[in-house]
Amino acid sequence: MNNHIGQISLLVRDYDEAIEYYSRVLGFKLIEDTELSKSKRWVVIGPDGDDPRIESYGKVLVFQDLYGNLWDLIHRNY
């Protein structure tokens, strides 16, 4: 079976704060920032080139986001 995640949506309390965090701390690049209304924006960020860590069970990327959530992104070897 071949699976992948193309995009994930996250709710944030402040767009600029989140863009700054994901860009500065995680090294993501800003791909899109479109104002949809006075209080809503469509923001797309993505990784900028660094490869995940290689473990015996697969590729792993672990990080803590701006709101304290721990993320373990794993691409398993089958």
pTM: 0.65
Q: Is residue 63 assigned to a domain?
A: yes
H or E element, residue 43: strand 41-46
Q: b vs e for 26-48, b when ≥16 Cβ sit within 10 Å of the residue's Cβ? A: bebeeeeeeeeeeeeeebebeee
Q: How many domains are contained in the chain?
A: 1
pLDDT at 39: 92
Reply yes or no on whether the pLDDT at 61 is more than 70.
yes
Inside any domain, residue 5: no
Query: For residue range 12-27, what is the model confidence (pLDDT) as tens digits?
Result: 999 999 999 888 887 8
Q: Is residue 61 part of a domain?
A: yes
Tell me which residue range forms the domain holding 64.
15-76
Stronger pLDDT, 19 or 10, i.e. the higher one: 19
For residue 59, tell me if it sits in a domain: yes
